[in-house]
Homo-oligomer: A and B are copies of this chain.
Amino acid sequence: MSVLIVGSTALDSIKTPHRENPRLLGGSASHAAVAASFFSPVKLVGVVGDDFPKKYLSLYRRHKIDLEGLQQLEGKTFHWSGEYEVNMNNRRTLLTELGVFETFTPALPKAYQASEFVLLANIAPALQHHVLNQMRRPKFVVADTMDLWLNIALNDLLKLLKRLDGFVLNDSEAHQLTKEDNVFAAIKKIHKMGPKYVIVKKGSHGSILSGPRGFFVCPAYPLSKVVDPTGAGDSFVGGMMGCLATARGPIENHLRRAMVYGSVTASFCCEGFGLNRTTKIKRSQIDQRVKELEKLTDF
């Protein structure tokens, strides 16, 4: 099975205390699509401008990402610029130029509408709704989000939650959404908002799945150096969905392992700027780290 991924496709200029990296390939859909591509075919829905470098189209194609749903419009590609502090934990946005993204309306090619696995990567909830409205009968729909949408599009997001199988967010967003400091108490409240599966990302502390079979505590791969965490959360959920799309039988049987594969894919993402490291690895390196994680968590 292939995965349909909709989200932002952007150029990221990332500054750290050590260097500047202008106009890297970025955006939630780019990170998620490349991560998913290690496991299954990917159909990408997004928008870029006429300044979008050809080398990035080639990069998508090298990862066998179907680009029929990638709109190329006159104008500028969404450009985000951010700066990390020394500890790589605090990030501040220097610049956001929406460009063609400002008026983006995701239109699904006919061949995409019957997709069974759908990842609504981080993008405005209204656009996530718009994608679902065009789908036939997806088997498993997961959405990611960010604090911005909790602040400016909460109603759209709450309506979306009722249409999802799985909802992914990070721990601070879970607190913001539920006013619960305890992550397990927050998860309980989020289930009541709709999704059967809730996944809370905790960065270097791993992630937590909650579903009908209870909790799963998913570890993060230990990294002694993080070069650039941008896109790690997108890589996690992209890898997870790619992995799920290849599995047979009930989703529930595969979700934990899919999360571990997503977690490991995200670890590679953190080891380079933008997609620099992720695009250089092979599937066998992911499998290797999953094996290591098995050993690292065995007791």
Selecting from A50-58, A86-94, A146-154, the interface stretch reads A86-94
Residues from chain B with a CB closer than 8 A to the CB of A182 are 223-226
Q: How far is it, in angstroms, between the C-alpha of A296 and the C-alpha of B214 when the chains are bound?
A: 8
Question: Could you tell me if A222 and B216 are in contact, using CB atoms closer than 8 angstroms?
Answer: no
Question: Could you tell me if A259 and B299 are in contact, using CB atoms closer than 8 angstroms?
Answer: yes
List the number of copies, as a whole number: 2
Residues from chain B with a CB closer than 8 A to the CB of A294 are 299
Given contacts A202-B205, A205-B202, A224-B188, is CB(A216)–CB(B181) below 8 Å?
no
Q: How far is it, in angstroms, between the C-alpha of A4 and the C-alpha of B113 when the chains are bound?
A: 67
Question: Could you tell me if B184 and A296 are in contact, using CB atoms closer than 8 angstroms?
Answer: no
> Which of B188, B204, B216 is A299 in contact with, Cβ under 8 Å?
B216
Q: How far is the CB of A220 from chain B (nearest CB, A)?
A: 8
Question: Could you tell me if A181 and B86 are in contact, using CB atoms closer than 8 angstroms?
Answer: yes
Mark contacts of A162-192 with chain B using CB atoms, 8 A cut-off: 1 yes-contact digit, 0 otherwise.
Answer: 0000000000000000000111110010000
Residues from chain B with a CB closer than 8 A to the CB of A205 are 202, 205-206
User: A residues 201-217 with Cβ under 8 Å of B?
Assistant: 202, 204-206, 208, 214-217
Given contacts A184-B223, A184-B224, A224-B188, is CB(A217)–CB(B87) below 8 Å?
no
Q: How far is it, in angstroms, between the C-alpha of A248 and the C-alpha of B144 when the chains are bound?
A: 48
Question: Could you tell me if A217 and B219 are in contact, using CB atoms closer than 8 angstroms?
Answer: yes
Question: Could you tell me if B222 and A296 are in contact, using CB atoms closer than 8 angstroms?
Answer: no
* Chain B residue at smallest Cβ distance from A188: B224
